[in-house]
Structure 1
């Protein structure tokens, strides 16, 4: 029982200080960029047709799903090419990027540069030669006759409305302008108070997390006190609990009730802060789930995940790509967390980074399911090729070094 309690407290503490505090800074920086530029980034993408694929890949490369999500409505409106969608989704690592950036920054650098290069190359190939788009469209149409819009149309020449899409001018903007979906005389002010307290914890967690990294990532005992270990424990557990409250309750009374989504713009600095807190709380919850699943799994079963993954051989990167097919950030955060624990090879992480779309696929699925499916197919193929190639090339040269590569 004591060992289980220790695992729980360490997961709460480490997940918040080592991951969430750094996530908050990154999400806030991207939100402030959107707020202060007031759509300038999107305008640059729309006005530079030849560079759209490259810009889409760069937006997808930004940690979280925000950069990729804002590209999807542009395709629906007919202002960017399908290759741009493929490049954006392929370069996207979603919220799992925060986990790897915080716990294995060197691995993140290599994995996401590889994902970016592979995705941009695929995007340009789709726009230039099609890569069998019409055949894939026909196959998808047979599987899903209701998905009538043509997902594989390539926008060439003077960019204008895509004739394959007829949405009656109702393209989604994905801007949640309705605000909180509930109001309470007690929970509304309490949630705002928790929101402020959460940011205070985030600042303290960022300071402590930076000190932790500068000290070389030592083992920190669970205890309360005025020393580093005591502050590390107190801030981590309090921040994690506040994150759980914001995710489960507070998001309905502060800001937008729907998390893991990005707005096209923000109305004020406070809204930007709120969005960053909600997005980070979402990541915190899933990181906590991932840590607990992994730690308790090892504790109860004694199974060494790294040994299983090593025995899987070339199937490990293929498995990473298959997990990437699952929409949403939760499964991808779990996979990233297992990698950070040394349980998966670098090839599986990279394959997952290329194939996964985070939450960016949801807006496209809602309006043009066929386009979403076709884009996913295009991302899965390079993910498998690159992942298997890394396994075959990396393994013989470095042996087991690809397990735990870049982990702090």
Structure 2
């Protein structure tokens, strides 16, 4: 029986040859998207594809999902599967609403993080201390959180009139936004000219300087900070070793259980912040069940992002963009079919270059199906349009699954002293 050197395990946890933790395939897709999206906009004459308003809506849809996905990255990098992200987001929506109403918007964000961490602590105690199955515990956290939010809402918000009810609370304080007036106007004019690439980039940049919440910019900063902590610090190396081979990590003196607790608490806090974003930034209203499954989408984004903070952020942006197009116009959603078809063709060429014939055939057939769908139809039915963001997420996750690698010990229970 061969044993793995603890030092080699720690080095393996650092990853292979990647840029910012992203594989060459991810960079190909990102760079291609900067050209393909403007090309599709030009071919289909669908201006909303790259309009500033579309990107603004995409940011609002992306951020809560990205925060849940970042939470998943932290937890699973330490070897703990956190299905309870949805419940922790739910707790965050209520915590943000309560503290926002009584103490202001920044206190609301802190309250959302606090409630999310409480949900994370519940999951950590069950899975790390008592060894409960991580999937079962996560599902239990979601159920408990849903019931707790319903109870807390009826208890604390029913008597707040006229803005409160047993299931909602409106009129919450808003957070400040960034607005660079002169640059905003210049970019808006450039975007309206519909020039290839230049106007499209102006639409994207315009959404980042025109009435964007500081919390939205904070999400990008949190992704960068998470990447740096997990990939460039001793703390991150030790935490990731707990998700790769905890026994080897313990033999090197790493307190595995402590690092797992830290990771799950951070995970819950990030998910709670995602819930706070929904009730404080995306809107000024709290509603029971406000997350609407975004925690589960965050899990999918984390997997598609290959358990990497930047990858999770990019995958969340893909869902957010598709969701924004759904809200904009039917023609833009129809143009998304051509965008998916081209993306799958590029992915097919990449698979062929890698000599992955089976993967190339699969991607090529799906891409051809989307192309025929685009050519043979003029619109997408309204009922199907509401499902589009979820279908896009499922599709991308399925075609990218061949190049994903989860932490080796992810989801496996661990008891202190197992190294011996």
Shorter chain as normaliser: what TM range?
Answer: 0.3 to 0.5
Normalising by the residue count of structure 1, what TM-score does the alignment of the two structures yield? 0.32
